[in-house]
Amino acid sequence: MDDGLTAELHQTRPLWQRLMTEAITRPADLLAALDLDPALPALDAERLRDFPIRVPRGFVARMRPGDPEDPLFLQVWPSVREADVVPGFTTDAVGDLDKLKGGGLIHKYAGRALAITTGACAINCRYCFRRHFPYGDALASRGHWRATLAQLDADHSIEEVILSGGDPLTLIDDKLAELVTELDARPWIRRLRLHTRVPVVLPERVDAGLLRWLQATRLQKVVVLHINHANEIDDAVAAASARLRAAGATVLNQAVLLRGINDSADAQARLSERCFAAGVLPYYLFVLDRVAGAAHFDVSESQAQALMQALAARLPGYLVPRLVREIAGQPSKTSLPW
Ligand SMILES: *Cc1c(COP(=O)(O)O)cnc(C)c1O
Ligand code: SF4
């Protein structure tokens, strides 16, 4: 191919970046896209400014038009109930602020550390426990990852680096490839993990540019997706998952138990089955972190336990996720007995 043309192609923005900028960011636009009542009450504009609505159009296309109870719609719709003040629901629900070192690395658990790579996400999930996170102070991707790498060099017990955020796959490939090359050069690091919802809400992100650096690393790769409902998985998501696996990644799912969205054994069974059909194994089912503004999504622990018993009675063991809660100060996620 002619060199000029190659250079030109290289400079074209990847499709996924354009799709990110075309995401719906106004409540009225979401209601219009779904043929919903334009008068559906929404959180006031001032509160919405702190945590705006954001949802890629491809994800909206998986919602049922005309249904204000659609399980995907409810995950992104800014309900007036976010303004409720509920005792026990705070702005640092999982105690991460205490653990954050310079360089955006959170080292809470043995052998693995989590890097806050960016504050950006492709979608804003209304129950998110990071919605109040002061990202400005603590991004690992700053300055060519220098502070993060310095921390890894100072502690060789960290054998697994988890890229989280925000969502690490909102970063451009050059930036991610730069980090992975640095990790590759550190022989005590064995595994690279991505915590990401992007392949679900924007499967176009799993493109040649991403697969290039993912395939090239010597590290073992784990991609932990975040899917809460079977309807989130369409053919494009299944194909994105297949590309990740073909690049050598183990693909897992973590979900959050959400009232009115996936809080039945039926919904969870369908989620596990659909995940497995797409080559994704269930990993964790989190009970909600008690974050301010999300109390209306909360499911009681006793209800969660009853749900798990019903789920385990109808699925093979490998399709039953572990029910966990994140408790500040604990050496791992805490399994809830059922
Ligand atoms: C959840 C989490 C992990 C990963 O825990 P696993 O049980 O290995 O999935 C690692 N570090 C931090 C800070 C976490 O919050
Ligand atoms: S994609 Fe993840 S980090 Fe981003 S808003 Fe949703 S739950 Fe939170």
In tens, the pLDDT along 175-228 reads 999 999 999 999 999 999 999 999 999 999 999 999 999 999 999 999 999 999
What confidence tier does 36 reach under pLDDT thresholds 50, 70, 90?
Answer: very high
**Same domain membership, residue 195 and residue 321:** yes
Sign of CA dihedral 66, 68, 72, 78: positive
Is any ligand 1 atom within 6 A of the Cβ of residue 309? Answer: no
Between 173 and 129, where is the model more confident? 173
Domain assignment present for residue 89? The answer is: no
Range of the domain at 238: 96-335
Question: Which pLDDT tens digit goes with each residue over 280-317?
Answer: 999 999 999 999 999 999 999 999 999 999 999 999 99
User: What pLDDT is recorded for position 1?
Assistant: 46
Strand partners for 228: none
User: What pLDDT is recorded for position 137?
Assistant: 58
User: What pLDDT is recorded for position 96?
Assistant: 66
User: What CA–CA distance (Å, rounded) separates 116 from 135?
Assistant: 8
* Mean pLDDT in residue range 107-119: 95
Domain assignment present for residue 260? The answer is: yes
Is any ligand 1 atom within 6 A of the Cβ of residue 109? Answer: yes
CA-121 nearest atom, ligand 2: 4
Residue 67 Cα to ligand 2 midpoint, Å, equals 23
Ligand nearest, relative to CA of residue 55: 2
What confidence tier does 9 reach under pLDDT thresholds 50, 70, 90?
Answer: low
**Same domain membership, residue 54 and residue 78:** yes
Domain assignment present for residue 286? The answer is: yes
CA-332 nearest atom, ligand 1: 7
Give the residue whose CA is nearest to atom 1 of ligand 1: 333
Residue 30 Cα to ligand 1 midpoint, Å, equals 33
What confidence tier does 142 reach under pLDDT thresholds 50, 70, 90?
Answer: confident
User: What CA–CA distance (Å, rounded) separates 138 from 118?
Assistant: 9
**Same domain membership, residue 35 and residue 179:** no
User: What CA–CA distance (Å, rounded) separates 27 from 78?
Assistant: 8
**Same domain membership, residue 284 and residue 217:** yes
Residue 107 Cα to ligand 2 midpoint, Å, equals 20
Domain count, the chain: 2
**Same domain membership, residue 235 and residue 108:** yes
Ligand nearest, relative to CA of residue 166: 2
**Same domain membership, residue 112 and residue 63:** no
SS (H, E, C) the chain: CCHHHHHHHHHCCCHHHHHHHCCECCHHHHHHHCCCCCCCCCCCHHHHHHCCCCECHHHHCCCCCCCCCCCCHHHHCCCHHHHCCCCCCECCCCCHHHHECHHHEEEEECCEEEEECCCCCCCCCCCCCCCCCCHHHCCCCHHHHHHHHHHHHHCCCCCEEEEECCCHHHCCHHHHHHHHHHHHCCCCCCEEEEECCHHHHCHHHCCHHHHHHHHHCCCEEEEEEECCCHHHCCHHHHHHHHHHHHCCEEEEEEEECCCCCCCCHHHHHHHHHHHHHCCCEEEEEECCCCECCCHHHCCCHHHHHHHHHHHHCCCCHHHCCEEEECCCCCCCCEECCC
Ligand nearest, relative to CA of residue 105: 1
CB contact set of 264 (below 8 Å; sequence gap of 6+): 307
Omega of the bond leading into 166 within 30 degrees of 0 (cis)? yes
- How far, in whole angstroms, is CA 218 from its chain's centroid? 24
Is any ligand 1 atom within 6 A of the Cβ of residue 322? Answer: no
CA-129 nearest atom, ligand 2: 8
123 has pLDDT over 70: yes
**Same domain membership, residue 201 and residue 104:** yes
Are 303 and 263 in contact, with CB atoms under 8 Å apart?
yes
Question: Which pLDDT tens digit goes with each residue over 63-106?
Answer: 999 999 999 999 999 999 999 999 999 887 666 666 666 678 99
10 has pLDDT over 70: no
List residues near ligand 2 (CB under 6 A). 121, 123-125, 128, 130, 165-167, 197, 226
What amino acid is encoded at 44 in this protein?
D
**Tokens for 81?**
């109930």
6 has pLDDT over 70: no
**Same domain membership, residue 134 and residue 76:** no
**Same domain membership, residue 287 and residue 194:** yes
User: What pLDDT is recorded for position 5?
Assistant: 60
Residue 212 Cα to ligand 1 midpoint, Å, equals 26
Are 192 and 222 in contact, with CB atoms under 8 Å apart?
yes
**Same domain membership, residue 103 and residue 195:** yes
Q: CATH number for the domain including 128?
A: 3.20.20.70
Question: Which pLDDT tens digit goes with each residue over 218-277?
Answer: 999 999 999 999 999 999 999 999 999 999 999 999 999 999 999 999 999 999 999 999
CA-107 nearest atom, ligand 1: 13
Ligand nearest, relative to CA of residue 202: 2
Domain assignment present for residue 147? The answer is: yes
**Same domain membership, residue 293 and residue 223:** yes
Out of 83, 115, 134, a domain closes at 83
Between 116 and 93, where is the model more confident? 116
Between 322 and 104, where is the model more confident? 322
